[in-house]
């Protein structure tokens, strides 16, 4: 509800907004502008310390990236890794949300408490715990499987799989809780009406429950894509900075390593711009597809 | 009968899933409580008969986790308080006033949430380097720099989320307050603020977790001042090839997880309601 317009409203509103605007412009707006700017220059250690003049490269950094096989490999890995994480998170989250509606309160509470624990674990702590569980010599998993000495972080794909499992572990609770709330919000009458009309369970699920849940599914899917596309901590901690010879790099970690480890700030910024654009494209494309499907957000 | 059997199966699956999900946390606490000899045993057992707090003592004293814990608390508390204040004011302005550029601002808040925080590490590093020359406490190597970035990153979502709560307070209430002679700021703080408390709680949890979990910015901004490091990075620093003190690391992880877990359990109902509210609006 908006109060009717009074004189001086604009000024009061601005006073209320000013502090937040100041922070947002200074620490989000300006850095976004700077990111694009830095990506257009040859910005190395000498330029940072002021020992060498800046060279304007235009799209030079981008051209260098596009011609680099490694960039394409990392891009492919990032998309594949994010896709696996998103699919896994949604599958586990949705399955457990449905399961939670089918059990009595005590079982549901047990499940939710466990999920709450995984959700609350900070990424660094979670990554470290998983590393210890899967440790080659001291890890419990190798002990149980009888594979003592097997390194889960040595092979590129096994390492990616381990990180993906950790990411799914800490992100499915959000999907589960949100979907569970959504299912619970469906009025009982709707389901009764479907039952009276003789709809089977499968038909009720696809023709009644799923359409009603779609807005929530959209939100959790977009959130998962955005989160999983920019996983940083788990990759960094679990594969020790991107794996042996950088085999487990994703775009975010790649950009970070280029900038802060190799002192190629311009190139790192260019990767950052590419990541941002990709993410905005994914979000926009997804929203458009949904709107075309007649969905209101 | 059939129904009861299928419910029994569902419950068994639910409990099994809960056990799998909780296991890493159980292992963390267990390892933190095990005596050192059991931790480094090549034959790890899922229980211990001689629990001890040695690992916690080691973590807190030898590895000065206490200091890092305090740093993390200071940063997260400052972020929560500032973000509450700023987002409440901004959300009020955006929902209860009509002015030019209001819609644009709302759209910008939404778009900004899509920008990957990680991509901004490079320019923010330079921003913090220049801030250091003007206001050292908010520049590189100081906790203030972390407070500033986390404040910026939690604000868009906080404002967006609070909007719904502020809008839900009926306009008649404000008219009545005005008729009773309450000034605008009096209405703001004594009427509106308490009424949107559930929203404020949900928002602060998210800001808190955001600041508490941060690894990337602590790693980038706190370069040479080890005493100003926060927990996530400290934990990582103690992981050394071939000589990990896993007991202390797991004790540190436990200390780091508990505040968030407590926060979650206390506010879980409101958090879910807040999430549902944000989804709906």
pLDDT band with cut points at 50, 70 and 90 for residue A175 = very high
Domain assignment present for residue A121? The answer is: yes
Give the pLDDT confidence score for residue B150 in this predicted structure: 94
pLDDT band with cut points at 50, 70 and 90 for residue A203 = confident
Domain assignment present for residue A184? The answer is: yes
In this model, does residue A3 exceed pLDDT 60?
no
CATH assignment of the domain containing A257: 1.10.3720.10
In this model, does residue A272 exceed pLDDT 60?
yes
**A160 and A81 in contact (C-beta within 8 Å)?**
yes
A7 close to B (CB below 8 A): no
Domain assignment present for residue A58? The answer is: no
In this model, does residue A297 exceed pLDDT 50?
no
Nearest CA in chain A to B150: A27
Cβ partners under 8 Å of residue A85, min gap 6: A164, A167, A168, A171, A224, A228, A231
pLDDT band with cut points at 50, 70 and 90 for residue A186 = confident
Give the pLDDT confidence score for residue B137 in this predicted structure: 84
The ipTM (two decimal places) reads: 0.86
pLDDT tens by residue, A28-61: 999 999 999 999 988 887 777 777 777 787 898 8
Distance CA B253, CA B209 (A): 15
Mean pLDDT across the stretch A203-223?
A: 83
Three-state SS for A84?
helix
Domain assignment present for residue A203? The answer is: yes
Provide the residue range defining the domain that includes A135.
74-262+272-296
Give the pLDDT confidence score for residue A293 in this predicted structure: 58
Mean pLDDT across the stretch A287-296?
A: 62
Mean pLDDT across the stretch A165-175?
A: 95
Domain assignment present for residue A164? The answer is: yes
Determine which helix (DSSP H) or strand (DSSP E) holds B90, and give its type and residue range. helix B65-96
Q: What is the mean pLDDT of chain B?
A: 86
List of chain A residues whose C-beta atoms are within 8 Å of the C-beta of residue B117? 230
Give the pLDDT confidence score for residue B101 in this predicted structure: 83
In this model, does residue B140 exceed pLDDT 90?
no
pLDDT tens by residue, A62-113: 999 999 999 999 999 999 999 999 999 999 999 999 999 889 999 999 999 9
Q: Which residue among B95, B152, B213 sits closest to A2, beta carbon to beta carbon?
A: B95
Domain assignment present for residue A17? The answer is: no
Asked whether the beta carbons of residue B260 and residue A122 sit closer than 8 angstroms, the reply is: yes
Q: pLDDT higher for A88 or B66? A: A88
Residue numbers of A between 129 and 148 with CB closer than 8 Å to B: 129-133, 135, 137-140, 143, 148
A219 close to B (CB below 8 A): yes
In this model, does residue A205 exceed pLDDT 90?
no
Asked whether the beta carbons of residue B97 and residue A10 sit closer than 8 angstroms, the reply is: yes
In this model, does residue A122 exceed pLDDT 80?
yes
Q: pLDDT higher for A207 or A35? A: A35
Total domains in chain A come to 1
Compute the nearest-CA separation of A238 from chain B (Å). 10
Mean pLDDT across the stretch A239-247?
A: 87
Domain assignment present for residue A128? The answer is: yes
Domains in chain B with CATH codes: 1-51 (no CATH), 62-277 (1.10.3720.10)
Structure tokens at B46: 């899922």
Q: Which residue among B43, B123, B250 sits closest to A143, beta carbon to beta carbon?
A: B43
Distance CA B226, CA B71 (A): 11
Compute the nearest-CA separation of A260 from chain B (Å). 8
Give the pLDDT confidence score for residue B281 in this predicted structure: 41
Q: Which residue among A3, A21, A276 sits closest to B174, beta carbon to beta carbon?
A: A3
Q: Which span out of A219-228, B184-193, B248-257 was modeled with the highest average pLDDT?
A: B248-257
Nearest CA in chain B to A227: B116
List of chain A residues whose C-beta atoms are within 8 Å of the C-beta of residue B19? 114
Give the burial class of B110: count Cβ atoms within 10 A of its Cβ; 0-12 exposed, 13-18 middle, 19 or more buried.
Answer: exposed
Give the pLDDT confidence score for residue A285 in this predicted structure: 76
In this model, does residue A1 exceed pLDDT 50?
no
In this model, does residue B239 exceed pLDDT 80?
no
Domain assignment present for residue A194? The answer is: yes
């Amino acid at each position: 509800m908006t109060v009717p317009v009074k004189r001086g409203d604009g000024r009061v509103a601005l006073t209320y907004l000013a502090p937040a605007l100041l922070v947002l412009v200074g620490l989000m707006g300006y850095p976004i502008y700077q990111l694009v700017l830095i990506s257009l220059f040859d910005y190395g250690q000498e330029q940072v310390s002021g020992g060498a003049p800046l060279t304007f490269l235009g799209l030079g950094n981008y051209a260098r990236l596009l011609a680099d096989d490694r960039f394409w490999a990392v891009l492919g890995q990032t998309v594949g890794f994010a896709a696996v994480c998103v699919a896994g998170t949604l599958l586990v989250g949705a399955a457990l949300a449905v399961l939670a509606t089918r059990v009595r309160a005590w079982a549901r509470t047990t499940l939710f408490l466990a999920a709450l624990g995984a959700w609350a674990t900070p990424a660094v702590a979670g990554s470290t715990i998983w590393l210890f569980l899967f440790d080659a010599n001291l890890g419990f998993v190798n002990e149980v499987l009888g594979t003592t000495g097997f390194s889960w972080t040595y092979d590129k794909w096994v390492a990616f799989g381990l990180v993906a499992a950790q990411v799914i572990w800490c992100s499915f609770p959000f999907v589960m809780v949100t979907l569970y709330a959504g299912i619970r919000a469906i009025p009982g009458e709707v389901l009764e009406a479907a039952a009276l009309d003789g709809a089977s369970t499968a038909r009720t699920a696809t023709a009644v429950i799923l359409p009603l849940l779609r807005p929530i599914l959209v939100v959790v899917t977009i959130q998962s894509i955005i989160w999983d596309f920019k996983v940083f901590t788990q990759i960094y901690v679990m594969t020790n900075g991107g794996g042996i010879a950088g085999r487990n790099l994703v775009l975010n970690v790649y950009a970070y390593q280029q900038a802060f480890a190799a002192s190629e700030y311009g190139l790192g910024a260019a990767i950052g711009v590419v990541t941002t654009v990709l993410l905005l494209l994914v979000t926009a494309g997804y929203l458009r597809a949904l709107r075309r499907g007649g969905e209101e957000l | 009968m059939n129904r009861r059997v299928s419910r029994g199966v569902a419950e068994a699956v639910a409990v099994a899933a809960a056990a799998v999900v909780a296991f890493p946390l159980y292992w963390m606490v267990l390892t933190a409580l095990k005596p050192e000899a059991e931790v480094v045993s090549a034959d790890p057992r899922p229980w211990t008969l001689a629990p001890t707090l040695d690992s916690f003592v080691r973590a807190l004293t030898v590895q000065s986790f206490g200091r890092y814990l305090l740093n993390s608390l200071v940063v997260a508390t400052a972020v929560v308080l500032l973000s509450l204040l700023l987002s409440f004011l901004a959300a009020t302005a955006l929902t209860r006033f009509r002015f030019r550029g209001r819609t644009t601002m709302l759209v910008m808040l939404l778009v900004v949430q899509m920008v990957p925080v990680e991509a901004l590490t490079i320019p923010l590093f330079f921003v913090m380097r220049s801030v250091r020359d003007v206001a050292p406490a908010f520049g590189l190597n100081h906790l203030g720099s972390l407070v500033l970035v986390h404040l910026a990153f939690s604000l868009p979502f906080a404002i967006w989320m609070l909007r719904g709560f502020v809008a839900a307070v009926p306009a008649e209430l404000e008219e009545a307050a005005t008729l009773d002679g309450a000034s605008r700021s009096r209405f703001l703080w004594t009427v509106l603020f308490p009424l949107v408390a559930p929203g404020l709680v949900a928002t602060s949890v998210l800001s808190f977790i955001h600041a508490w979990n941060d690894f990337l910015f602590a790693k980038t901004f706190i370069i040479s001042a080890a005493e100003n490091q926060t927990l996530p990075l400290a934990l990582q620093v103690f992981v050394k090839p071939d000589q990990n003190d896993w007991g202390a690391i797991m004790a540190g992880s436990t200390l780091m997880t508990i505040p968030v877990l407590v926060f979650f359990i206390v506010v879980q109902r409101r958090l879910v309601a807040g999430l549902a509210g944000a989804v709906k609006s």
